[in-house]
Amino acid sequence: MKTLIVDDEPLARERLRELLKGLPDVEIVGERGDGRAAVEAIKRLKPELVFLDVQMPGMDGFAVIEEVGAGAMPAVVFVTAYDQHAVKAFEVHAVDYLLKPFDDERFASALRRAREAVAGRGGAGDETARRLALLLAGVRGGGARKLVIKSSGRMTFLNAEDVDWVEASGNYLRLHAGSASHLMRGTLAGLEATLDPGRFCRIHRSTIVNVDRIRELQPFFHGDFVVILHDGTRLTLKRGYREHLARLIGQPL
């Protein structure tokens, strides 16, 4: 498991290095003390796991993820001095987190979850990107108010709240807003990171929906749901994406 340690405190890096040293399944491929160097190392060394300090001067841990791109990030264990309330987001969206100062038992638990994440990584890249994108959206604020659609040298400005739902279409996204639809280049994870996580929800690996547009949810097979919008559009909520929607509507699914 190729591992990168990122922390601006030398003693913190040393502690992580000592805890990882001698483990037969862990290869420390590098250490970095600032965000900019971390971005370069992640892109060049391609680690499978990164212990990422959140609070670093200049470029913090969240900015590192934004720069690399949620879809290109390895599994992440956040290392943070944030209080217990703030780390709730990490519990949902990261592999795990270590709250400084942490003990050996807590580290072992985080490493165990990291091993499981890396071992099952095969088809989990999209899920990792989704979770990190949601974390970034929650940290950075309420999301973009306007989306810029570029086409044939022209730029169209679309109010984000006017978007009913979004579907992935190859290397493009199709944004549905009322009777109109707009095509823009990008990834669903990238767009999700810019949208308000209190309004928009990923319900499928290729679909984002504006929760305000949902009229009805109907149970379907294998824990899935049919999502019916006010205009009659029918979408699919996959079982693995139910958690975020359940939180937004305040009801278990």
Residue where a domain terminates, one of 140, 164, 197: 140
Question: Do both 172 and 233 map to the same domain?
Answer: yes
Q: Looking at residues 151-162, what average pLDDT do you find?
A: 81
Q: Give pLDDT, residue 72.
A: 81
Q: 64, 72 in Cβ contact below 8 A?
A: no
Find the range with the poorest average confidence among 88-97, 99-108, 156-165, 243-252: 88-97
The whole domain housing 242 covers 146-249
Mean pLDDT rounded to a whole number for the chain: 84
250 pLDDT above the threshold of 50: yes
Give the confidence band of 121 by pLDDT, cuts at 50, 70, 90.
Answer: low
Are residues 82 and 104 both part of a single domain? yes
Whether residue 223 sits in one domain with residue 190: yes
Whether 8 and 110 map to the same domain: the answer is yes
Q: Are residues 155 and 129 in the same domain?
A: no
> For position 131, what pLDDT does the model report?
66
Locate 13 and state its tokens: 């890096």
Domain boundary among 109, 140, 171: 140
φ, ψ of residue 73 to 5 degrees: the values are: -75, 145
Same domain for 66 and 12? Answer: yes
Tell me the C-alpha to C-alpha distance, in Å, between residue 151 and each of 161, 174, 187. Answer: 21, 13, 17
Q: Among 87, 108, 140, which residue terminates a domain?
A: 140
CATH number, position 201: 2.40.50.1020
Residue 85 has pLDDT above 60, yes or no: no
The answer to which of 73-82, 135-144, 145-154, 217-226 has the lowest mean pLDDT is 135-144
Q: Is the pTM of the predicted complex or chain greater than 0.85?
A: no
Please give the average per-residue pLDDT across 204-224, as a whole number. Answer: 94
pLDDT score at 148: 78
E strands present in the chain: 2-6, 27-32, 49-53, 75-80, 96-99, 146-151, 154-159, 165-169, 172-177, 180-185, 200-204, 207-210, 214-219, 225-229, 234-237
Residue (of 15, 20, 61) closest to 42 by Cα position: 61
Query: What is the 8-class DSSP label of residue 101?
Result: S
| pLDDT tops 80 at residue 194 | no
Using the predicted structure, report yes or no on whether residue 56 has a pLDDT greater than 90: no
Long-range contacts of 125-131 (CB under 8 A, 24+ apart): 125/71, 126/71, 126/189, 126/205, 127/240, 128/70, 128/73, 128/75, 129/70, 129/71, 129/73, 129/187, 129/189, 130/70, 130/189, 130/192, 130/202, 131/92, 131/93, 131/94
Greater confidence (69 vs 126) lies with 69
CATH code: domain of residue 64: 3.40.50.2300
Same structural domain for residues 126 and 176?
A: no
Tally of domains within the chain = 2
> Same domain for 166 and 132?
no
**228 and 120 belong to one structural domain:** no
- 94 and 208, same domain (yes or no): no
**Do both 6 and 127 map to the same domain?**
yes
Q: What is the mean pLDDT of residues 193-208?
A: 86
**Does residue 95 share a domain with residue 56?**
yes
Confidence grade of residue 55 (pLDDT, cut at 50, 70, 90): confident
71 within 8 A of 189, measured Cβ to Cβ? yes
Between 54 and 11, residue with greater pLDDT: 11
